[in-house]
Amino acid sequence: EVQLVESGGGSVQPGGSLRLSCAASGFTFSDYWMHWVRQAPGKGLVWVSRIYSDGTNTIYADSVKGRFTISRDNAKNTLYLQMTSLRAEDTAVYYCARDSHYRQDHWGQGTLVTVSS
Amino acid sequence: QSALTQPASVSGSPGQSITISCTGTNSDIGNNYVSWYQQHPGRAPKLMIYDVSYRPSGVSNRFSGSKSANTASLTISGLQAEDEADYYCSAYTRINTWVFGGGTKLTVL
């Protein structure tokens, strides 16, 4: 069974940093692209970033480009999202999701990030 | 990248059919990698339709997808109470990013 478990969320002040993790199991992690998708409270889904299976290529939404960095450790079956220069508008539940041919076919339960002074 | 356009809400009675539209551009919907997700309150999204009209294993055949020009549609037939949820369309774009719709709240009357 595919499982994705996010962690690392919490409260942080504007301008601060946070690193999210997503532990994967139940599939060969190193074979799949992975994504981060976020959802602000009461709002819709917003795609954040994608990373290739070998980590050699990454792409970001304009809203986080230059502030967020997606990475992965295939030896640890773990996906990361390093978030810096955080803003109030980054407050959201952050989901990691597995990519299967340009669709997100499995999702974690999410981790909440709150940016507030 | 602008969000895809979905109606904010739709409703139907049990047993009826409803359709949710999702309008974009040639650069996203026109790319033919359109997916639909169901999200119940407090839960993670679940993939319901991919590549415009294909159902993942385990998804009821009451769910179907289609596309005309730059508008994709999700149809749910034989509405059931458990179908009440938020539904999101998504598309893989020609600039190798993904874009979601704003979401549609389905109410089963």
The full DSSP string for A55-99 is SS-EEE-TTTTTTEEEEEETTTTEEEEEE-S--GGG-EEEEEEEE
Please, what is the average pLDDT of chain A?
98
CB of A103 less than 8 A from some CB of B: yes
Q: What is the pLDDT of residues A41-80, one digit of tens each?
A: 999 999 999 999 999 999 999 999 999 999 999 999 999 9
Q: pLDDT band at residue B31, thresholds of 50, 70 and 90?
A: confident
Answer whether A105 touches B (CB < 8 Å). Answer: yes
Give the dihedral sign, CA A44/A27/A22/A34.
negative
From the list A50, A61, A107, which residue is nearest B44 (CB)?
A107
Each residue's pLDDT tens digit, B83-97: 999 999 999 999 999
Q: Is A107 in CB contact (< 8 Å) with chain B?
A: yes
C-beta atoms of A61 and B90 within 8 A = no
Average pLDDT of span B33-54: 97
User: B39 to chain A: which residues are within 8 Å by CB?
Assistant: 45
